[in-house]
Structures are given as C-alpha cells and as structure tokens.
Structure 1
Amino acid sequence: MLLEILVILALIVLNGVFAMSELALVSSRPARLKSMAAHSRGAALALRLSENPGRFLSTVQIGITAVGVLSGALAGDTLGKRLADYLISGGMDAVWAGRIGVGGAVVAITYFSLIVGELVPKQIALRNPEGVAAKVAPMMTLLSVVAAPVVWFLDRSGRLVLWLLGQRGESENRVTEEEVNVLLAEAEQGGVLEEGERNMISGVMRLSDRTVRALMTPRQEVAFLAIDTPAADLAAAVERIGKNRIPVADAGGNPIGILRVIDLFRQKSLDEPADLRALIRNIPVITDRMEALDLVAVLQKSPDGMALVYDEYGDFEGLVTTDDVLEAITGAEASAMADEPALLTREDGSLLVSGWMPADEFCDRMGISRASAGGYDTVAGLVLHHLGHLAALGEVFTLAGAGLRFEVIDLDGMRIDKVLVTQISPD
C-alpha cells in the first residue's frame, strides 16, 4: 500500500510539473526570453516552444491527461479497495466500507491534486515565469519529440476546430502603449527606474506621436530681426530680443536665415563694420506635418539646431529648435525653459493650466483619453474642440466621464491663455 501511495504522489507531482510548465510558458514575456536566450539554452528552447503554442499545449495536455487517468485508476481500483478491505476487517459493513473506501481515496487524492498538482505549481510559475520556463523547456521539448505523432494529430485537430469557429488568422501579439506605461510604472515602483527616468521614457513615447506643428514656436511668438536694421541699432535690437540665435526677416516679414550673436560680436571685436547680410546663416526648411522623430534627424544635421517650418501652401508657420524637442521629452511641467508654468496646482486643488500646454501630456497627466483633444495639439485646442467655437471669457464645459470642469479664465486676444480645471463628481 505504501508503494501505491508513493506512486500516486509521484503522479500528482508530475501533474504539478505539467501545470507549472503550461502557465510559465504562457505567462513568459518573449522579450525577456530573448534576452535570456543569449546565455541560456533552456530559455532558447522555451522561446521556440512559445512560438508554436498549439504544439506545446498539445504536449502538456497529453501529459496531464495521462497522469489524470492513471491517478484515477489507482485511486478507485487499488487504493480505494485496500482502504475498504481495511474497514471491513475492522467490522464495518461491506457496502459502506466500499463506499467510504473509494470515496475517501478520491477525496484525498483530489485534495492533494489541487494543492500539490495545481495551486502551488502555478503560484511558483507566476512568481518567475521566465525562469521556470527555461528550466522545464528541455523536458517539454523532449516529450514533444517522443509524442510527436499524437502531438501533431492533436495540434491539427485543434486548428481544424478553430477554423470551423472562424478563428482562421494567426494570433496577434502586440504590445500597446498602455501596457508599456504600466510596465514603466511597475519598474518605478520596484526601484528599477527613477521617477525622472520614467518621465523621460514616457516623453520619448509621446514625441513619437507628435508632428513638428505640435513642437514649434508659432510665427506670432517668434521675434525677428529686420534685415534693414541700421548698423548702429543692431546691438540694441539684439539685446532687446535676448537670444543667441535670432531669425532674420526681409522687408516683407519672411524669414531668410538666422544671425548668430557670437558672429556679430566677433565682427565688432575686429572693428569691422556691422554687415547683417554677410552674417546671415541658412537653416533647414521643413513642413509642419513632418513627424517629430524625423525632425530629430534634421536638427542633428543642422549646425544651429534650428529649422524653419512652413505649411503645405508655402506660408511660414513657425520655428523649431532642439530646445523644443528637449522640452517635449522632459515634459512641459518639468521644463525650465518655459516663461510660465504649464500647470499649477492651487491651494483648493484646482489646476491652472496654460493654453499652450501639449494636449497629450495634459491628458496623460489627468488620466483621460488623448482623443479628448480631437485633432488639436494643445489644451487651448482641447477647449475649442469641446466648445465648437472660439472661446469667450468665462465659458465653461465639463468632461462628465472624467469628472473635470474647464473654465476659460484668461484670453490673449482670441487665443486661450489660461484654463481653470476643477475636479467634480463624475455624476
């Protein structure tokens, strides 16, 4: 009887190994397995098994089914009968002894099967899925080879049933941006990433979704130096603008290049007459629909890290620099280059938001969908999207699902300058 009990326990443990293997392979992240595969043969085998889930699951089910059948047979016919004989020898009625013997054996084996054969192994697999998968992969690979004919038949049968159910395409294994953000949050909580590192990675992800139009300084905010500025007034004009690289415009207000202030100072230090036209440098010209990542390549090739932005009609739209890209990565809230804060938390908990704050960054900050901004790039655009017309001072609207109330509290001409955002009940 002791031998039979040991055999049943061995079968239960083997069932646990199969259950653990199945969950570990299913839960493993392919990216993690790929990084481990460089120095672990088990991880390489696990990655190969995960690429063919039908074959792997068929192999596991063969093992689990075989173990279950053997355990049931031993429990009812062997262990249950011996327990019944023991009870009969103790004076119990034969009918009741048979029922209690078989029933008791089944209950005991079921209990140990749940604990040792299912729950504990699966908990182990969930705690370290990639590590467990790398350890069990060689055994599962060998089993799949040994049972190849049966595995092939079961795999094809499963595919046939899926085909009949309309599942005829390959499964998609796509990682969404939301899942990446969740992983970044977990990495920060686990101490793998610092808060600043996580924010910068999120900023790079936002950057990939933006166009040049969302990054540039609009034309009306660009300070130009007129090409016909008298030589005697150049120094005063440069000091008034206060930039080390200044766009230069012709008589019609169209940009024709930039002036490096250091070039002007060098010319003056040599006692040469100031010649603005001779100091103008050409910079790249790009479209406002260019993607931000393509812009990075353009700015890297530009000695001045600056580009002029034009729309599809050939009209000048604005100016974009490497500082704009850096601000997009670090976030408008964290940027020290901004003349005014993008978002300010007031004592009552409400938020004072600048209209120029990027809409995607604001939506991420408030935990709302980026679709709330429509096709606009700023918070001012988000407000216009929901109002449906040019805003008037004091206009109010709510995003009921997000529990947010928006109020326009400052206008600069027709431009929305400040918005007050208040948390309200979603109801």
Structure 2
Amino acid sequence: MSSDPIVALLLIAALIAASAFFSLTELAVAASRRVRLRQLADHGDWRAQRVLAVQDEPGDFFTALQIGMNAVAILGGVVGEGAFSPMATRLLQALQLDAGYIETSASVLSFVLVTSLFILLADLFPKRLGMVAPEQVAVRVVGPMLLVLAAFRPLVWCFKRLTDLLFKLLGLPERRDEAVTSDDILAMAQAGADAGVLALTGQQVIENVFELDTRLVTSAMTSRDRIVHLLLDDSEALIRARIEQFPHSTYLVCDGDIDHVVGYVDSKDLLSRVFNGQPISLQAPGLIKKVLIVPERISLSEVLQQFRQAFEDFAVILNEYSLVVGIITINDVMSTVMGSLVAPMDDDQIVQRDADSWLIDGATPIPDVLRALDLDHLPQQDEYETLAGFMMVMLRRIPRKTDKVSWGGWRFEVLDVDSYRIDQVMVAREVPSSTPLADG
C-alpha cells in the first residue's frame, strides 16, 4: 500500500462508495414490490422488467453482491488501519501522551474511525435510502450491478453451486413464495388506510368482501319470524291486506304453513292482475314461480354463486330438518359488502345510545356486533351466530329479562324477551370512557 495518506484516503472513499452501492442494491432489489414493478414495466420502464427477472432468479445476482461486499470489507480492513494512523499519531503526540502508547492508540483510533465511516456511509445511510423508495432505486442500480455480475461470473458460478448444494441438503426452498393471500391484501388495505391513501370506508368494503367466504347466509338473512308469507288458500281480501301492511317486491308462498314452501310471487304480477280486472288468486296458473332453496351452512360467497347460476336474486334457507330458517336476497349480500356506505347502522338492530352504550337486537349477526363494539372476537364464537346465541351460550340457559353477561370490558344485559326470543340487549362499557358521543 502506498504510504501517501492522500492516496489512502481516496482509496478508503472509493471502498466506502463501493460498499454503499452494494448495500443499496441488495436492499432495494429485495424490498421492491412486484406489483409496483409490474406497473412500472407496463408504463414502458424496461429496467423494471430487469429487476423482476432478478427477483425471479436471485441466486447469481445476490451471490455477486456478497462477493463484492466481502471483498470491499476485507480491503477496507487492510487499508483502513494505515489510512488515518499518521494523523492520529500526530494528534496524540500533540497531546503529549506516553510514547509507548501512541502507536497502539493511533491504530485503535484509525480502526474506530474507518469502521464508523463504513457503518454510517456504507451501511445505514444506503439501506435507509433503499427502504424509502426501493422500486425507484432498484431500477437505477440493476444495470451497473448486472455488469458487476458479468465480471464475477466464474466466482458466482462456483459459489452458487455450493449454495444450491447446501439448500438441497437442508431441504430449504430455493425461491420465495410470491403468492398473495387474503391476509396480505387486508394488511395492505390497513396500511393504505393508516397512510391516508385509502378511505376508511374503502378499507371496510375490502374487508367485507373477504368476509363473504367466512360469513354464513344466516348472518345476513331475514329470520323465520320476520318472513312475510302468503298461503295458497288465502282469500283475495287477506292477500290485499297483507300486501298493504307489508309492502315487498316478492312474497313467499306456502301450503298450510311456512315450512311447506311452494314458491314465490312477484308483487308486480299481482298488481298486473288488479289493473287487468282479474281476481287475485294464488291458484292462478303461472303466477307462482319456483324458488331457490339453499342450506343454512353455506357462505355468502356460495349463495352469490348460486344466485348467478340460477338467475335468481331470492332464496329460502333450510336447516338439516328441512325447516325454513329464513330468506336471503342479493340485496342482503350487497348490504353486507357495502356496510356503512349503504346505511351507518341498521336502525332496527343496532342503535348507539351514547359513547358507552348500545341497544342491539338479539338477532344481530355477531360480525356486526363486533364491528359496532370494535371487538376482535367473542368467547366460543363458533357456537353461535347472533347476539342472542352469545347470551345463551354464556348463560347456559334461555335468558330472562335483566340477565347479564360481562366480557371484554362490556356488560351485556337482556332488556326484553318475547316468547323466549331475545328482542333487545343493552351493551354498555363497564368502565365508561371520557369521550362524549358527537352529535350526528
């Protein structure tokens, strides 16, 4: 090595720059998001395609990086000891230290200074830069790095084969899994909402879409006791009175009782008969249409698929005993997806009284209860689907008025029971918050 300190300092600067380049390249290429790189490639940036190719076959690329980084580190250690030793020696002599310690102290000071420069300028700074904008950095450094790869090709081939052998011996995967799961998408949506680039309502819609695979049809249905149905032998006066009292677009038609479903009738077909001066009789040919029947244990996404296949938007839900448990429409499914974009809360099911208490219908699906109370889960959640079911499981009996359950900082109190059916539950914080509920 040249004894000229200027040459030594220039060599140290060159080694730091080379090490910084390798560190920046390594982190930027590894951290680059493939979705973003594909977007850049689709907009005509051919360098993004080269980065994607490197990520598909990273072995040679990262082998060359490691060879370069280790070579620079070794050279830095050799050059660094003598780079600042003369200056450190003069400084220590000026401080009039013992001559026996000056040489050793100068070497230590030189080593510490060179190491600090490498850590700061060749490691921390370039890696932070690579994390801030990995895709933009990667497309700029991939070209020069490929030239380095070409120069190190023989060494790369040798080390890569040895590395492949180690991976095979240990049974490790040679490529990273690029599959994007629903959890990945939800995490990205959460990150986007936290960063302010995605509206909270948009994030909620995305979460609701993925919930379609896990939520059963019973969580969005109109329950059995709320179904407005007609019987085959109903008189015209009774049908008119029922339609006037409960105006709907379709009505379930049954034979004798609700568990013997015949089909359904469109209110527009009944209105057409009135306009044409024909009597309203459910026995009229062609008036009753075949209804779609689905089991209660299928998911909302599965019922959507059945709607599409049958070209229907209305279905009756049966349990394993062939008893009607409810009905569901495509609008019920879409309301589950849109959530608060359709209505902030179902006024008949969830009403917020103040900042610390809610009035909730016993038939409210558990996912809606969790969302209203900002809870992650309830105990033994697989054993029930509604708030009434939660109360029954927790109490281990049919609840009575004023029965209470405490869990997760909330108190659940039964306010009203009608024929063993839980109508209303008051849910209140056991420790009231200090934040008042804003008007509106």
What is the Cα deviation at residue 261 of structure 1? 1.2
Q: Which moved more, 1:117-126 or 1:29-38?
A: 29-38
Q: Which residue of 1 aligns with 2:129?
A: 124
1:80–1:103 Cα contact (<8 Å) kept: no
1:28–1:130 Cα contact (<8 Å) kept: yes
1:25 maps to a residue whose letter is: V
Give 1:238's match in structure 2, choosing from 223, 237, 243. 243
1:282 maps to a residue whose letter is: K
Q: Which residue of 2 aligns with 1:29?
A: 33
Distance across 2 between alignment mates of 1:126 and 1:421: 45
Alignment of 1:252-331 (within 5 A): 252-253=257-258, 254-277=260-283, 278=285, 279-300=287-308, 305-331=313-339
1:420 maps to a residue whose letter is: M
Q: Which residue of 2 aligns with 1:6?
A: 10
Q: Describe the shift of the 1:393–1:167 C-alpha distance in structure 2 as closer, same or farther (beyond 3 A).
A: farther
What is the Cα deviation at residue 381 of structure 1? 2.6
1:412 aligns with 2:418: yes
Question: What TM-score do you get using the length of structure 2 for normalisation?
Answer: 0.82
Q: Describe the shift of the 1:162–1:376 C-alpha distance in structure 2 as closer, same or farther (beyond 3 A).
A: farther
SS of equivalent to 2:315: strand
What is the Cα deviation at residue 301 of structure 1? 5.0
**Cα RMSD over matched residues?**
3.3
1:15 aligns with 2:29: no
Q: Describe the shift of the 1:408–1:176 C-alpha distance in structure 2 as closer, same or farther (beyond 3 A).
A: farther
What is the Cα deviation at residue 268 of structure 1? 1.4
Q: Which residue of 2 aligns with 1:340?
A: 348
Distance across 2 between alignment mates of 1:233 and 1:197: 45
Distance across 1 between alignment mates of 2:161 and 2:422: 62
2:92–2:106 Cα contact (<8 Å) kept: no
> What do residues 228-261 of structure 1 show as CA deviations (whole Å, max 9, x unaligned)?
1123433222112211211111124322111111
1:6 maps to a residue whose letter is: L
1:46 aligns with 2:51: yes
> What do residues 104-163 of structure 1 show as CA deviations (whole Å, max 9, x unaligned)?
332222222122111111211121122222332333444445434544554455566667
1:368 aligns with 2:376: yes
Give 1:112's match in structure 2, choosing from 97, 110, 117. 117
1:249 maps to a residue whose letter is: C
Alignment of 1:53-92 (within 5 A): 55-77=60-82, 79-80=83-84, 82-83=86-87
1:333–1:341 Cα contact (<8 Å) kept: no
1:423 aligns with 2:429: yes
2:273–2:279 Cα contact (<8 Å) kept: yes
1:217 aligns with 2:222: yes
Q: Which moved more, 1:113-122 or 1:129-138?
A: 129-138
Distance across 1 between alignment mates of 2:126 and 2:320: 62
What is the Cα deviation at residue 66 of structure 1? 1.0
1:374 maps to a residue whose letter is: D
2:186–2:206 Cα contact (<8 Å) kept: no
2:231–2:257 Cα contact (<8 Å) kept: no
Q: Describe the shift of the 1:350–1:148 C-alpha distance in structure 2 as closer, same or farther (beyond 3 A).
A: farther
Q: Describe the shift of the 1:57–1:388 C-alpha distance in structure 2 as closer, same or farther (beyond 3 A).
A: farther
* Identity in percent: 26
Distance across 2 between alignment mates of 1:387 and 1:158: 60
2:41 maps to a residue whose letter is: A
SS of equivalent to 2:398: coil
1:134 maps to a residue whose letter is: V
2:262 maps to a residue whose letter is: I
Structure 2: which 5+ residue stretches go unaligned? 432-440
1:359 aligns with 2:363: no
What is the Cα deviation at residue 328 of structure 1? 1.0
1:24–1:132 Cα contact (<8 Å) kept: yes
Q: Describe the shift of the 1:66–1:338 C-alpha distance in structure 2 as closer, same or farther (beyond 3 A).
A: same
Q: Which moved more, 1:53-62 or 1:66-75?
A: 53-62
Distance across 1 between alignment mates of 2:77 and 2:145: 23
Q: Which moved more, 1:17-26 or 1:29-38?
A: 29-38
What is the Cα deviation at residue 174 of structure 1? 6.2
Q: Which moved more, 1:115-124 or 1:273-282?
A: 273-282
What is the Cα deviation at residue 68 of structure 1? 0.8
1:42–1:134 Cα contact (<8 Å) kept: yes
SS of equivalent to 2:354: coil
1:345 maps to a residue whose letter is: Q
1:250 aligns with 2:258: no
Structure 1: which 5+ residue stretches go unaligned? none
1:45–1:141 Cα contact (<8 Å) kept: no
1:320 maps to a residue whose letter is: I
Distance across 2 between alignment mates of 1:224 and 1:339: 23
1:360–1:370 Cα contact (<8 Å) kept: no
